[in-house]
Amino acid sequence: MPLILYNTLSRTKEEFHPSTWPAVKMYTCGPTVFRSPHLGNLRSFILADILRRTLEYNGYQVYHVKNITDIGHMEQEHQHPGEDDVALAVEKGAAVAAAVAEFYTGIFHEAEKRLNILPAHNFPQASQHISEVIALIRRLMEQGFAYEVSGTVYFDIGRWPQYGRLSGNRPEELAIHRVEPDPQKRNPADFTLWRRAEPQRVEWWESPWGRGYPGWHIEDSAMMLKHVGEQVDLLVGGVDDIFPHHEDVMAQCEAATEKPLATYWIHGEHLEAEGERMVVIAENVITLEDLVTRGVDPLAFRYLCLTAHYRSKLHFTWESIRAAESALRNLRGKLAEEVEGAQPSSRGQPYVDAFVAAINNDLDMPRALGILWEVVRSALPFEERRKLAGDFDRVLGLGLAHVVPQELPEAALRLIQEREMARSSQDWARSDELRQQLLAMGIEVRDTPQGSRYSPRY
Ligand code: AMP
């Protein structure tokens, strides 16, 4: 069954074919490490993870690169000249920009681990690629795609008629939206490749154009060309990456190499909170640490993400995360217990076929999750259900492969025995008391018409 993916570039669903089967090269826009990643960022990293896992489930061998942006952005519309995110964090009390970046890089890796996100094979850091950035800018200047004015270098979009191919934005329309037109630019929509360092700037590098620092887009282009080469199969990010980031990354790489950069451009919709995109300036940011502080299992967030298609907006509320947590707990509980009336003759293959059809249909994870629930509720024998859940979990990543009916501790078995005796003598008060004691030990109790069921809570 072919894998179908929606390609932002063609604006259609296409069959996936890598340039050299079975190898797949995939690049994901990673975190900016001057703060903890918020749940919105993590939603887009979960998308990259399910895409990679789906490719691997289909037998591809994926090489995944995810960059770490450890030097500042230069979004002129959002910042004052000379400020960048890491430098701002430094001003807010941290000693050294590199230490801030290192600290939050650790937090990012920890968050990915807690969400069962497979680590990329390579996490290049922008700060380690300044010489590659400078070499790429020089190359673009030599080819006539870039020009320098007073120590700042711009990409000349007048020389690149393809500009706007990815996002649909036309340079002439963009010019109208510029807040403050920069008089140095040939065209108001030209973007910065290298910026001259302002006197108060904390982080700067020497360059052929004097002291300065790279534009946000050029770092990614330089890291891509170095670590995945001139052509990549898949480029992944959030929808806000489409413009200007990916449009500019595409222009820089394609102008330099004269080759299409990526075959498939995959963009995930936003996580929202309080009615708008989760983003620092909206002050609606929630982090994984916030979930853990409130006692929520981090994997409940992964489960929540799987309940929505990646091209749909997902609205975060505390009710929705609690509901996701309880669904995940139920799923684990059901997988850990025997089912009444199991039919050894029933087969799992139709479920596998339906699961593959779902994941290969542009990563339809809500449907895939539904099929997992059908398996869990089916009359398939215990071992078969667990085998299927473990197999599906290679894509879903909910930690289901480890769910096994655990041996209950001695002390719990004694309480269960006592509770069964209390129930047979209709001593409901004592039975409830023992239920509470078991709960405190992490054992869930369900009284069914067929008798009581005891399972560890996860
Ligand atoms: P940043 O750390 O801000 O550079 O963002 C890292 C990734 O998170 C980028 O690919 C963004 O597109 C993505 N992203 C940012 N905000 C959201 C959001 N609210 N929902 C989903 N993805 C987001």
Tell me the CA–centroid distance for residue 40 and ligand 1, in Å. 6
Tell me the DSSP string of 113-140.
Answer: HHTTPPPPSB--BGGGGHHHHHHHHHHH
- d(Cα 158, Cα 189) in Å, to the nearest integer? 9
Check: CB of residue 135 under 8 Å from CB of residue 124: no
pLDDT for 178 equals 55
For residue 5 the two structure tokens come to 């993916």
Strands (E), 200-270: 212-214, 232-238, 262-268
Tell me the CA–centroid distance for residue 23 and ligand 1, in Å. 27
Helix (H) / strand (E) element for 4: namely strand 4-7
- d(Cα 402, Cα 389) in Å, to the nearest integer? 10
pLDDT band at 83 (very low <50, low <70, confident <90, very high): low
Q: Which of 172-176, 186-190, 344-348 is least confident?
A: 172-176
**Which atom in ligand 1 lies closest to the alpha carbon of residue 267?**
12
Q: Which whole number is the average pLDDT over 80-108?
A: 69
Q: Which of 3-7, 53-57, 404-408 is least confident?
A: 404-408
**Which atom in ligand 1 lies closest to the alpha carbon of residue 241?**
12
pLDDT at 140 over 50: yes
Closest CA to 434 of 450, 449, 451, 454: 454
Of 216 and 277, the structure prediction assigns the larger pLDDT to 277
- The letter for the amino acid at 7 is N
Q: Which whole number is the average pLDDT over 72-78?
A: 44
Range 107-129 burial, b when 16+ CB lie within 10 A, else e: bbeebbebbbbeebeebbbbbeb
pLDDT band at 76 (very low <50, low <70, confident <90, very high): very low
Q: Which whole number is the average pLDDT over 3-24?
A: 97
Cis peptide, bond prior to residue 344, ω within 30 of zero: no
φ, ψ of residue 136 in degrees (nearest 5): -70, -40
Query: Reduced to 3 DSSP states, what percent helix, strand and coil does the chain have, rounded to the nearest 5?
Result: 45, 20, 35
Tell me the CA–centroid distance for residue 39 and ligand 1, in Å. 9
Residue 281 has what DSSP assignment?
Answer: G
Tell me the CA–centroid distance for residue 350 and ligand 1, in Å. 37
What are the pLDDT digits (tens) for 187-230? 999 999 999 999 888 789 999 999 999 998 999 999 999 999 99
pLDDT for 203 equals 84
Tell me the CA–centroid distance for residue 223 and ligand 1, in Å. 19
Query: Is the Cα dihedral 329, 335, 338, 342 positive or negative?
Result: positive
pLDDT for 414 equals 84
pLDDT for 383 equals 82
pLDDT for 73 equals 53
Closest CA to 355 of 387, 323, 313, 328: 387
**Which atom in ligand 1 lies closest to the alpha carbon of residue 29?**
10
Tell me the CA–centroid distance for residue 160 and ligand 1, in Å. 27
Query: Among 240, 305, 313, which is best to mutate for testing ligand 1, by the most ligand atoms less than 8 A from CB?
Result: 240
Nearest CA to ligand 1 atom 14: 41
Using a 6 Å CB cutoff, which residues line ligand 1? 29, 31-32, 40-41, 43-44, 69, 237-238, 240-241, 268, 270-271, 277-279
pTM for the complete prediction? Answer: 0.85
What are the pLDDT digits (tens) for 322-346? 999 999 999 998 887 766 666 666 6
Residue 131 CB neighbour total at 10 angstroms: 11
φ, ψ of residue 135 in degrees (nearest 5): -65, -40
Query: Among 42, 44, 67, which is best to mutate for testing ligand 1, by the most ligand atoms less than 8 A from CB?
Result: 44
Tell me the CA–centroid distance for residue 44 and ligand 1, in Å. 6
φ, ψ of residue 275 in degrees (nearest 5): 85, 0
Tell me the CA–centroid distance for residue 9 and ligand 1, in Å. 19
**Which atom in ligand 1 lies closest to the alpha carbon of residue 43?**
21
pLDDT band at 78 (very low <50, low <70, confident <90, very high): very low
Check: CB of residue 269 under 8 Å from CB of residue 282: no
Q: Report the number of secondary-structure helices (H) and strands (E) in the chain.
A: 15, 15
- d(Cα 119, Cα 205) in Å, to the nearest integer? 30
Q: Which of 8-17, 66-75, 320-329 is least confident?
A: 66-75
**Which atom in ligand 1 lies closest to the alpha carbon of residue 277?**
19
- d(Cα 423, Cα 448) in Å, to the nearest integer? 13
pLDDT at 55 over 50: yes
- d(Cα 274, Cα 220) in Å, to the nearest integer? 31
**Which atom in ligand 1 lies closest to the alpha carbon of residue 44?**
22
Span between the terminal Cα atoms of the chain, in Å = 35
Tell me the CA–centroid distance for residue 71 and ligand 1, in Å. 16
Average pLDDT across the chain, whole number: 90
Nearest CA to ligand 1 atom 11: 238
Residues 6+ apart with CB under 8 A from 82: 197, 198, 200, 201
**Which atom in ligand 1 lies closest to the alpha carbon of residue 270?**
20
pLDDT for 89 equals 58
- The letter for the amino acid at 338 is E
Tell me the CA–centroid distance for residue 354 and ligand 1, in Å. 31
**Which atom in ligand 1 lies closest to the alpha carbon of residue 278?**
19
- d(Cα 13, Cα 37) in Å, to the nearest integer? 30
pLDDT at 458 over 60: no
Tell me the CA–centroid distance for residue 41 and ligand 1, in Å. 4
Query: Among 41, 43, 68, 78, which is best to mutate for testing ligand 1, by the most ligand atoms less than 8 A from CB?
Result: 41
pLDDT at 82 over 60: no
